[in-house]
Amino acid sequence: MSGASALDAHLSDEQRELLASTAELARTTLAPVAAAGAEGAVNRPLLKLLAEHGLLGRLFPRENGSWRSDVSALDLCLIREGLAYGCTEAETAFALQGLGTFPLLQAGGPEVVDAWLPRIAAGEAVAGFALSEPQAGSDVAALALAAEPDGDGYRLTGEKTWISNAPEADVYAVFARTSAGSGARGLTAFLVPGDSEGLSGEHIELLSPHPVGRLVFDNVHVPREHRLGEVDGGFRVAMRTLDMFRPSVGAFAIGMAQAAIDATVAYANERVAFGKPLKDFQAVSHRMADIATRVQGARLLVHAAATAYDRGIRPTTQAAAMAKLMATEVAQEAVDASIQFHGAVALQRGHLLEHLYREVRAPRIYEGASEIQREIIARALFAPPRKEHA
């Protein structure tokens, strides 16, 4: 990643340094630890390194002895882009830790926050975000995991799937139904330790081996103080978390796209075909020019959505959806074109682009598929204008 230029003039010197230093840390320090981990499993040494180098501290800031929930969405984007550029496994570990913890950070009571945040921020405890179910992915209103009142707490019964860091996480933010027939308004968020009696799970093998799995809740008891926010207020907790993280999913994609572009530029300068460098073929250079332009446009959309969030502009849902949609779609195009220009060499197992090709597919689905993002954008476009009151 290069230094200051007209393409990043909207960033401060500190923000440019954060992006560059994170990318370098990922490439030189985090990547070897990531490579030593087991595929598809939580890499605890990697999380510890993310904490030791201050990156988890950016997710979970502490001031005057209190944990703050006003995390900078733009800093989050810069860190995720830098990590994705240098080591996608480190990016995933960082992002999943944040996603699983943000419901606790924004809605947890003092007792559970003090019990879990120090360990999570130190990389000693792993967090998971448990929203999706076998029959309810993007349709949050269809969630069926039941939370029945039981004395001093609740009993959770049902299943979750596509859950981050499952089944190895030490604690999960779980969204369960407390009011039947109420759609999204009948959900409540809970903090559930991974060793709770009646909780079990298994890994899911994916195209790119992320630590994702299924969870089964068999009459799992959750104390009342482990409730995150108000009864039937879980949808707001989930949406605040996703609004915070959606632009940064786009940043994850941009980091991978930039890595693919840079790899292709280097290869096209060196590779000679039919007596001239690959870069001198207009089919290559113009296609890469178009992709680089679209990637920069997506980066600016991501940064704009994150900046709006940081400035307290609400809602940011449409802006976040636009950013995620454009960034993840163009990243897929960037990696695919880069493989095409490299030829068969990029299809080899272990090649950077082979790795990115498997990695880049997931963000078009994670945290709301591209089709859902288009629906969000369309609803905002065609929403009736707000009436101004005198």
The number of residues making up the chain comes to 390
Q: How many CA atoms lie within 13 A of 155 on its CB side?
A: 8
What would the 3-class secondary structure string for the chain be?
Answer: CCCCCHHHCCCCHHHHHHHHHHHHHHHHHHHHHHHHCCCCCCCHHHHHHHHHCCHHHHHCCEECCEECCCCCHHHHHHHHHHHHHHCHHHHHHHHHHHHHHHHHHHHCCHHHHHHHHHHHHCCCCCEEEECCECCECCCHHHCCCEEEEECCEEEEEEEEEEEECCCCCCEEEEEEECCCCCHHHHEEEEEEECCCCCEEEEECCCCCCCCEEEEEEEEEEEEHHHEECCCCCHHHHHHHHHHHHHHHHHHHHHHHHHHHHHHHHHHHHHCEECCEEHHHCHHHHHHHHHHHHHHHHHHHHHHHHHHHHHCCCCCCHHHHHHHHHHHHHHHHHHHHHHHHHHHHHHHCCCCHHHHHHHHCCHHHCCCCCHHHHHHHHHHHHCCCCCCCCC
> Of 89, 91, 133, 367, which is the active-site residue?
367
Q: Is 367 part of the annotated catalytic residue set?
A: yes
Spatial separation of the C-alpha atoms in residues 220 and 317, rounded to whole Å: 33
Active site members = 367
